[in-house]
Amino acid sequence: MSYRKNTLIKTSIGRKIVMALSGLFLISFLIVHASINALIFYNDNGEIFGIGAHFMATNPIIRTIEVFLIIGFIIHIVQGYMLWYKNKKARPVGYAVNKNISGVTWYSKSMTLLGTLLLLFLVIHTRNFWIPNRIHQFQFGEELPLYKMMIEKFTNPVEVVIYLIGCSSLAWHLAHGFQSAFRSLGGNPNKFNSLILNFGYAFAIIIPLTLAMMPISIYVGWIK
């Protein structure tokens, strides 16, 4: 039984299932993350946002979940590149004619590129905020002034552009990833295709747009 499970995980189907489960878990993180970030739109000098950020940084349940989030990110990234490598190895020579397959979008064929852009964005994002905040917590037992850091960071147009590229990549990644995860877990596309597509597209717009509006609002002076 154990051997069969190990064999399944090593197959393309098994890796897609792992990708789907880890992806759906990370989607739950995006909902929480976007909700906390949206508190900045109260525009009250960061008071409400500070309360939310403090809760996320000190709540023991959230801190425990963070560990699983990191593991989830690693699994999702590794499995994604393994699937890409296996598919590339199976078809080392490109098609002579680039055929347009019905129902296959450009972003569904560019998930590895979009995922790589997201990975770079994640590295930049954690380096800017999460990592220094956690290090400061371990050293001094308190959080950094994240609101002030965000205001300072997003007055730089280069940082704003980087975040907008990251949010755009996230939107396209989610547009395909949500429905792909559903199919990988055995969903019936004929019965629920319209519902899943519409919900997936709505999610792929609302979450990245919420995240993108934060640096835009700070840069243009709507939030001070």
Q: Is residue 97 part of a domain?
A: no
Q: Is residue 117 part of a domain?
A: yes
Q: Is residue 98 part of a domain?
A: no
Q: Is residue 93 part of a domain?
A: no
The pLDDT assigned to 10 comes to 57
* Contact assessment for residue 217 and residue 151, using Cβ atoms and an 8 Å cutoff: no
The pLDDT assigned to 153 comes to 93
In tens digits, the chain (224 residues) has pLDDT values of 444 445 545 566 666 676 667 777 778 888 988 999 999 999 899 999 999 999 988 888 888 888 888 787 777 777 777 766 776 676 655 444 444 444 445 444 566 677 777 788 888 888 999 999 999 998 998 899 999 999 999 999 999 999 999 999 888 888 877 777 676 666 555 555 677 778 888 998 999 999 999 999 999 999 97
Q: Is residue 1 part of a domain?
A: no
The pLDDT assigned to 102 comes to 47
The amino acid at residue 109 is K
Nearest to 146 by CA among 60, 33, 66: 33
Q: Is residue 168 part of a domain?
A: yes
The pLDDT assigned to 133 comes to 92
- Residue 203's CB is within 10 A of a number of other CB atoms, namely 18
Tally of residues, the chain: 224
- Which structure tokens are listed for 109? 């064929």
| Residue reference for tokens 């050293």 | 139
For 14-46, the DSSP string reads HHHHHHHHHHHHHHHHHHHHHHHHHGGGG-STT
pTM, entire model: 0.76
Number of domains in the chain: 1
Q: Is residue 123 part of a domain?
A: yes
The pLDDT assigned to 41 comes to 94
CA 124-128-131 angle, 5° bins: 100
Q: Is residue 2 part of a domain?
A: no
Q: Domain of residue 27: give its range.
A: 7-88+106-219
CATH number of the domain at 205, please. Answer: 1.20.1300.10
